[in-house]
């Protein structure tokens, strides 16, 4: 009689298998999915303990906590995928507060029928992004919804960071006389997604700019420049971000159109589709509002970093009871850069 | 960006602005209507009006296809999606047009209507091929520019025997609308809309040519300058119009000669004539019923005409009483003279059609220019 192998479970068929309802049921199948796919990719001591929660050392001082849901379609796009995007997105939100990100958690909602091969690609990309950022994924959760009730995979990540003494960044700190900086070209992520979408047949070399910005932020803060506001202009683009800040700080802004850094490919694609790069999403760029006298120092710090090579001063803050964001056009006229109306692009982050 | 930046050059713009200022005689006003939404958008987005002398005024015309689409036609599209369960394919601009019963295509979509945004009518045809089990309807709107592509997909569907593809045709004609404005009592009898000339359509004219406007220049003594959609095109056209007015000429001139000929695209014109015929009348938002101003699909292609395939009835629906879209589309009023502008009606919650598309006079002014009434220059 054949001997039964104790505790043997056939390994997950990553090549051909796919998610079924049992992977969310709390039973063996779920334990196997977590062990073979998630725990292996994210391997770290906190996660390795297999407890209900991660036990973290308490830090003295202030903490920053931020959470972000990711529902991008398509899941894979030039320059990245939903995996690395979900890590970068949350790290950047923590970094925009001036904090050093320490830990991440990740929640997955998987759709029945989603191929393991795609899931592995996404999880590996997440793990790589977290490793490169030096921030471990210390806790997580997985749920499975029936076919037709999700869109492959949705990922929610939460980030915890440490805020050093003396750093006080907030959207309400922009003051008349401040300068407005961006860390690089506008609209790359949104246009990369747009170019990939099935209904658009054009092939385009536009690459998403998805990247973790906490290194760049650290350099910027280390420069000693008096930074008032940092924000990452994701959905709604730079225009929407600046309108939010203008509202919060009760100020007006004037941009200089010729100063906006925009890749030619992005400008051309926007032209073709009737979009405005100021409203297109970025996933690896920041907007900095800096005291007027420190603008050049902040610009130099940004440009010295690999992610800030095309940083630019794009405008200034002034008094305005209407809190308008305006722009002097390259043509010589003046116009409002208003809040985004409706949606320029469907599900992009 | 090559072939684009040249037409947005700030230095050339300043030179042209100086030329317009020199040419425009003191002591009189110049009132020009830009017919097309494309021109309206360029004027607002690049701040063209800021460069013009104060006695040269631009009046926004009705040439925004979304703005002139009457509520009743949008209702038909919604009915197709919600009642007849078709997959309705449409250009993104139409989604937010307010329709009857507080609906819009966007709201109909959230109520379960299968409404898809397409970037070309070819995408709609491809969807019909991919979903043979579904009825796919393309909501065709626009002036002569978007008509030829619709013709091409109808012919393709016919050749392929693609029985599940049809078109809800709402294509309209530019010359009919210009004629209607020139015949309106405000222009012709009362002179409440002073009109010294037109900036003629850019893309429309690539199809129909410059010849159709000759009638207006001769019959109504109004100069027409056909211009491209780039801001320098618009400035150049304004200069040419000022000169015509000064010299007492009323001619059709072509600033957009890099794309427009007198005869236009004859091949496209022939194709359009093969698939479409004139409607006896068509309702325009703001202009009312305009005779012979729109197209319908010929009987030979009836299988691909949604109005024949589905039991649809057109019902005229009045605009909100306070909405001034009608007067704005005829050039009688400016957006900021409407009580609803910026209060009850904004791009987030448009009441009138001019607030929907970025080419609409109200949306363009709200989005790009409303600081002019609120802040000192």
Give me the pLDDT at residue A194, please.
85
**What percentage of chain B has pLDDT greater than the value 90?**
64
What residue of B is the nearest CA neighbor of A337?
Answer: B368
Question: Considering only CA atoms, which of A205, A233, A210 is closest in space to residue A325?
Answer: A233
Q: Is B110 an interface residue toward A (CB < 8 Å)?
A: no
Cβ–Cβ below 8 Å for B46 and A320:
no
Alpha helix (H) ranges present in A183-277?
188-196, 214-222, 237-249, 264-273
Task: List beta partners, residue B60.
Answer: B34
Among A199, A200, A336, beta carbon nearest to B371 = A336
pLDDT of residue B286: 80
Instruction: Kindly report each contact of residues A335-338 with a partner whose C-beta sits within 8 Å and lies 24 or more positions away, as own/partner.
Output: A335/B44, A335/B45, A335/B46, A335/B47, A335/B368, A335/B369, A336/B367, A336/B368, A336/B369, A336/B370, A336/B371, A337/A239, A337/A242, A337/A243, A337/A255, A337/A278, A338/A239, A338/A243, A338/B347, A338/B366, A338/B367, A338/B368
Q: Which two tokens stand for residue A150?
A: 């999700």
Angle formed at CA A21 by CA A17 and CA A22, multiple of 5 degrees = 80
> What is d(CA B173, CA B175) in angstroms, rounded to the nearest whole number?
6
The token pair at A245 is 């800040």
Burial class (CB in 10 A: 0-12, 13-18, 19+), A205: exposed
Q: Determine how many CB atoms are found less than 10 A away from the CB of residue A183.
A: 30
Nearest 5°: the CA angle B88, B91, B97 is 85
Q: Could you tell me the domains of chain B?
A: 5-64+174-254 (3.40.50.11750), 71-173+264-309 (3.40.50.11740), 325-332+339-369 (no CATH)
Please list every residue in chain A whose beta carbon sits closer than 8 Å to the beta carbon of residue B17.
332
The dihedrals phi and psi of A107, each to the nearest 5 degrees, come to -115, 135
In tens, the pLDDT along A131-178 reads: 999 999 999 999 999 999 999 999 999 999 999 999 999 999 999 999
What does the pLDDT average to over B218-243? 95
When the pLDDT of each residue in chain A is averaged and rounded to a whole number, the result is 92
Rounded to an integer, the average pLDDT of B77-98 is 93
Reported as a single tens digit per residue, the pLDDT across A269-321 is: 888 887 899 999 999 999 999 999 999 999 999 999 999 999 999 999 999 99
From the first residue on, what is the mean pLDDT of each consecutive set of 10 residues in chain A (349 residues)? Answer: 67 90 87 90 90 88 95 93 98 97 97 96 97 96 93 97 94 97 96 76 78 97 97 95 97 96 90 88 97 98 97 97 93 87 59
Whether the CB of B347 is below 8 Å from some CB of chain A: the reply is yes
pLDDT of amino acid B173: 95
CB-neighbour burial class of residue A181 (10 A; exposed 0-12, middle 13-18, buried 19+): buried
Q: Are A322 and B368 inside 8 Å of each other by CB?
A: no
Q: For the segment B116-125, what is each residue's pLDDT rounded down to a tens digit?
A: 999 889 999 9
Q: Is the pLDDT of residue B1 over 70?
A: yes
Q: Does B284 touch chain A (CB under 8 A)?
A: no
Q: Which domains does chain A have, with CATH numbers?
A: 21-163 (3.30.1330.10), 179-336 (3.90.650.10)
Read off the tokens for A115.
């191929």
Q: What is the pLDDT of residue B377?
A: 41
Which of A259, A270, A327, A332 has the most B C-beta neighbours within 10 Å, making it the best mutation to test the interface with B? Answer: A332
Banded pLDDT at B350 (limits 50, 70, 90): confident
Q: Is the pLDDT reported for residue B376 higher than 60?
A: no
Interface of B with A in 43-72 (CB under 8 A): 44-51
**pLDDT for the residue numbered A349:** 55
Using a CB–CB cutoff of 8 Å, tell me whether A334 touches chain B: yes
| Cβ atoms of A181 and A233 closer than 8 Å | no
Distance CA A264, CA B84 (A): 45
Which pLDDT score is estimated for B3?
77
- Residue B102: predicted pLDDT: 86
């Amino acid at each position: 009689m054949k001997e039964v192998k104790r505790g043997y479970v056939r390994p997950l068929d990553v090549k051909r298998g796919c998610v079924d309802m049992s992977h969310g049921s709390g039973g063996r199948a779920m334990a196997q999915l977590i062990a073979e796919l998630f725990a292996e990719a994210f391997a770290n001591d906190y996660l390795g303990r297999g407890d209900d929660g991660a036990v973290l050392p308490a830090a003295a001082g202030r903490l920053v906590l931020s959470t972000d849901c990711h529902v991008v379609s398509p899941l894979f796009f030039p320059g990245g995928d939903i995996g690395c995007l979900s890590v970068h997105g949350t790290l950047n939100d923590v970094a925009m507060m001036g904090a050093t990100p320490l830990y991440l958690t990740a929640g997955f909602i998987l759709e029945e029928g989603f191929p393991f091969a795609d899931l592995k690609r996404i999880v590996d990309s997440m793990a790589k992004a977290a490793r490169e950022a030096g921030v471990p994924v210390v806790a997580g959760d997985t749920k499975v919804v029936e076919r037709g009730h999700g869109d492959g995979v949705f990922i929610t990540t939460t980030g915890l960071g440490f805020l050093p003494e003396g750093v006080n960044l907030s959207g309400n700190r922009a003051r008349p006389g401040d300068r407005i900086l961006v860390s690089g070209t506008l609209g790359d992520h949104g246009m990369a997604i747009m170019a990939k979408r099935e209904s658009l047949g054009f092939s385009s070399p536009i690459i998403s700019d998805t990247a973790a910005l906490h290194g760049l932020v650290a350099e910027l803060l280390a420069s000693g420049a008096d930074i008032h506001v940092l924000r990452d202009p994701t959905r709604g683009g730079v225009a929407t971000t600046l309108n939010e800040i203008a509202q919060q700080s009760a100020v007006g802004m004037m941009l200089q159109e010729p100063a906006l850094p925009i890749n030619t490919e992005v400008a051309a694609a926007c032209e073709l589709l009737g979009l405005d790069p100021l409203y297109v999403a970025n996933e690896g760029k920041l907007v900095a509002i800096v005291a007027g006298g420190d603008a050049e120092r902040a610009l130099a710090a940004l440009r010295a970093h690999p992610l800030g090579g095309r940083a630019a001063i794009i405008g200034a803050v002034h008094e305005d009871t209407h809190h308008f964001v305006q722009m002097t056009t390259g043509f010589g006229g003046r116009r409002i850069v208003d809040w985004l109306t409706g949606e320029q692009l469907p599900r992009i982050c | 960006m090559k072939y684009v930046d040249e037409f947005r050059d700030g230095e050339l713009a300043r030179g042209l602005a100086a030329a317009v200022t020199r040419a425009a005689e003191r002591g009189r006003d110049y009132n020009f209507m830009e017919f097309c939404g494309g021109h309206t958008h360029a004027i607002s987005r690049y701040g063209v009006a800021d460069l013009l002398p104060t006695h040269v005024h631009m009046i926004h015309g009705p040439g925004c296809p979304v703005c002139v689409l009457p509520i009743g036609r949008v209702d038909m599209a919604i009915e197709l999606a919600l009642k007849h369960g078709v997959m309705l394919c449409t250009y993104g601009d139409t989604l937010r047009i307010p329709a009857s019963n507080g609906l819009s295509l966007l709201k109909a979509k959230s109520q379960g209507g299968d409404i898809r945004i397409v970037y070309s009518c070819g995408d709609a045809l491809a969807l019909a091929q991919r979903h043979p089990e579904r009825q796919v309807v393309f909501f065709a709107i626009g002036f002569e520019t978007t008509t030829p592509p619709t013709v091409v997909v109808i012919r393709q569907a016919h050749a392929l025997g693609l029985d599940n593809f049809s078109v809800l045709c709402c294509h309209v004609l530019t010359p009919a609308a210009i004629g209607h404005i020139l015949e309106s009592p405000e222009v012709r009898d009362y002179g409440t809309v002073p009109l010294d000339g037109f900036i003629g359509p850019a893309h429309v004219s690539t199809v129909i040519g410059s010849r159709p406007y000759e009638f207006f220049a001769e019959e109504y003594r109004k100069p027409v300058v056909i211009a491209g959609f780039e801001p320098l095109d618009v400035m150049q056209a304004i200069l040419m119009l000022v000169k015509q007015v000064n010299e007492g000429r009323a001619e059709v001139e072509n600033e957009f000669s890099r794309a427009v000929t007198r005869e236009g695209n004859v091949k496209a014109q022939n194709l359009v004539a093969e698939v479409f015929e004139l409607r006896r009348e068509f309702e325009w938002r703001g202009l009312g019923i305009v005779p012979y101003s729109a197209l319908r699909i010929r009987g030979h292609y009836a299988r691909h005409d949604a109005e024949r395939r589905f039991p649809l009835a057109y019902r005229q629906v009045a605009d909100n009483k306070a909405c001034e879209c009608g007067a704005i589309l005829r050039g009688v009023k400016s957006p900021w003279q409407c009580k609803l502008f910026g209060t009850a009606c904004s791009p987030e919650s448009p009441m009138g059609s001019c607030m929907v598309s970025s080419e609409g006079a109200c949306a363009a002014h709200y989005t790009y220019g409303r600081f002019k009434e609120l802040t000192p220059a």
